[in-house]
């Protein structure tokens, strides 16, 4: 029988027994019935089985549980249910990792491009990438396109819509994409170097795929979705389509999943492992020291998982956002390495010399870093 394994952190409440917590988990995420009412065949074939437990501290353990692959069938939705369906409602269970090698054949495809594929498309091989967002919401199409032009002239590699810029009347999707693509072309003619525009396609059911195709037809260089709003299976659906456009995943709405010590997912698991398996070419995550809440070692762990080579999937570009400013570009780039895409927002908008000068400051610094060190 084919199986896959998931590693959990289990935090025991007062008086709770490890064996019982594991047994309950094995039942809850499969048959949802007490053992005594199960047939022998079901008990043997369907219920999860513990492979290993490790004590981490007084009341905290790690447990590796093996699950039948057939329980997930061929559906991402059902995999997510097995991974963290009903146990999401129970205390003291946190997901640390999954054995992706066994999930790659039947379920997950991973990124279509990955870091190498993106470098080939961007023709940038020896340094970290620069990225920024077009905002604020409420700007007109021509204002956003003008901003895009100025960022591009300043040399930003990747210019994306802010995730709050969807299809409002302020700047409707199709017109915005057309105008921003033109802005990229115009800037490229002026500078001889091409910046890339990624449009936000986060939308209601059905509409996301339409916008993905439309973005491609209109000449966008990539797209962004917020998979915790659209539904995680939508990200995977896009990654499987025959459309030649990289995908950025954005963490809006995902917060509580990764913000609790004893519940949910580690940031590493969500951004570095699950999103990679689901096909994100770039993973945006809340950077340490910004206005969000991860620490540096959590961010390093995301980078590590997104980039590690022993995976069945292509890599994902880590795209830390929040707290990265013109004045600390060097520090973050050295910390995260050349296979990162630094997302800088407000700091560019606040720069006294204006957008173009800010962009130039940002990108010049990236090129000057000695990546050997």
Residue 176 binds its own copies, judged by CB under 8 A:
no
Within 260-289, the residues that bind its own copies by CB under 8 A are 260, 263-264, 286
Beta-sheet strand order (sheet of 264-265) = 49-57, 60-68, 3-11, 93-98, 264-265
For residues 263 and 276, which CB has a smaller minimum distance to its own copies in the complex? 263
Q: Please report where in the chains the tokens 């590493």 appear, as a residue.
A: 268
3-state helix, strand and coil shares in percent for the chain, rounded to the nearest 5: 45, 20, 40
Least distance (Å) from its own copies to the CB of residue 209? Answer: 8
Report if residue 233 touches its own copies, rule: CB under 8 A. yes
**Interactions with its own copies, residue window 98-157 (CB under 8 A):** 133, 135-139
Of 219, 231, 312, 337, which lies in the binding site for its own copies, with binding defined by CB under 8 A? 231
Closest separation in Å from C-beta 270 to its own copies: 11
Closest CA to 272 of 63, 107, 95: 95
Sole residue written with tokens 């998931």? 6
| Residues between 320 and 359 with contacts to its own copies, criterion CB under 8 A | 345-346, 349-350
Candidate list 142, 256, 308, 364; residue touching its own copies; CB under 8 A: 256
Q: Select 40 or 189, whichever has its Cβ closest to its own copies.
A: 40
CA distances from 184 to 14, 122, 152, 173, 244 (A): 59, 13, 7, 16, 18
C-alpha 324/C-alpha 11 separation (Å) is: 34
Q: Are 296 and 330 in contact (CB under 8 A)?
A: no
Give me the least distance between CB of 295 and its own copies, in Å please: 13
Smallest separation, CB 57 to its own copies (Å): 22
How many residues of this chain bind its own copies (CB under 8 A)? Answer: 84
Which residues within the stretch 191-220 sit at the binding site for its own copies (CB under 8 A)?
Answer: 202-209
Closest approach, Cβ 30 to its own copies, in A, equals 6
Query: Given the rule CB under 8 A, which of 72-80, 148-156, 184-192, 295-303 is the region that contacts its own copies?
Result: 72-80
Q: Which of 53, 81, 102, 106 binds its own copies (CB under 8 A)?
A: 81
Which of 29, 315 has the CB closer to its own copies? 29
Decide: residue 143, CB within 10 A, 0-12 exposed, 13-18 middle, 19+ buried: middle
Judged by CB under 8 A, the stretch of 123-131, 249-257, 305-313, 332-340 that binds its own copies is 249-257
Dihedral, CA of residue 213, residue 216, residue 220 and residue 223, to nearest 10: 40
Among 51, 55, 213, 291, binds its own copies (CB under 8 A): 291
The least distance separating its own copies from the CB of residue 121, rounded to whole angstroms, comes to: 25
Which is nearest to 115 in space by CA: 284, 275, 340?
340
Non-local CB neighbours of 151 within 8 Å, separated by 6+ positions: 132, 134, 159, 195, 348, 355, 356, 359
| Interacting span for its own copies (CB under 8 A) from 53-61, 226-234, 274-282, 364-372 | 226-234
Q: Which of 18, 59, 64, 78 binds its own copies (CB under 8 A)?
A: 78
Closer residue to its own copies, CB minimum distance, 193 or 293: 293
The SS3 of residue 161 is: strand
> What is the footprint of its own copies within residues 17-46 (CB under 8 A)?
24, 28-34, 36-38, 41-42, 45-46
Would you state the structure tokens that stand for residue 146, as one six-digit string?
């003008």
> CA nearest 358: which of 366, 368, 344, 348?
348
User: Dihedral of CA 147/149/154/155: which sign?
Assistant: positive
Q: Does 1 bind its own copies (CB under 8 A)?
A: no
Kindly state the smallest distance separating residue 171's Cβ from its own copies, in Å.
10
């Amino acid at each position: 029988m084919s199986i896959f394994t998931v590693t959990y952190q289990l935090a025991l409440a007062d008086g709770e027994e490890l064996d019982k917590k594991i047994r309950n988990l094995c039942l809850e995420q499969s048959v949802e019935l007490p053992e005594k009412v199960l047939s022998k065949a079901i008990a043997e074939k369907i219920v999860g089985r513990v492979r290993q437990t490790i004590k981490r501290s007084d009341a905290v353990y790690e447990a590796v549980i093996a699950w039948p692959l057939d329980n997930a069938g061929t559906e991402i939705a059902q995999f997510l249910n097995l991974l963290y369906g009903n146990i999401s409602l129970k205390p003291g269970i946190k997901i640390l990792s999954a054995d992706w090698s066994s999930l790659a054949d039947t379920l997950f495809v991973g990124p279509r491009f990955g870091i190498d594929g993106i470098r080939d498309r961007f023709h940038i091989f020896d340094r970290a990438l620069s990225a920024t967002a077009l905002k604020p919401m409420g700007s007109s199409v021509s204002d956003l396109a003008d901003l895009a032009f100025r960022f591009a002239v300043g040399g930003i590699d990747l210019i994306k819509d802010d995730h709050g810029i969807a299809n409002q009347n302020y700047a409707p999707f199709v017109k915005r994409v057309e105008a921003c693509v033109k802005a990229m072309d115009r800037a490229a003619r002026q500078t001889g170097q091409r910046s890339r525009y990624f449009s936000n396609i986060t939308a209601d059911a059905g509409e996301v795929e339409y916008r993905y195709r439309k973005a491609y037809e209109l000449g966008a260089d990539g797209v962004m979705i917020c998979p915790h709003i659209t539904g995680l299976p939508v990200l995977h659906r896009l990654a499987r389509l025959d459309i030649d456009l990289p995908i950025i995943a954005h963490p809006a709405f995902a917060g509580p999943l990764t913000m609790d010590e004893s519940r949910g997912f580690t940031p590493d698991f969500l951004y570095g492992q699950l999103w990679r398996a689901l096909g994100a070419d770039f993973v945006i995550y809340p950077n340490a020291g910004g206005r969000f809440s991860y620490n540096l070692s959590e961010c390093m762990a995301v980078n590590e998982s997104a980039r590690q080579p022993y995976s069945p999937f292509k890599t994902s570009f880590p795209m830390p956002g929040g707290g990265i400013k013109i004045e600390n570009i060097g520090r973050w780039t050295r910390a995260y390495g050349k296979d990162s895409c630094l997302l800088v927002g407000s700091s560019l908008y606040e720069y006294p010399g204006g957008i173009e000068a800010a962009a130039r400051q940002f990108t010049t610094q990236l090129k000057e870093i000695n990546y050997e060190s």
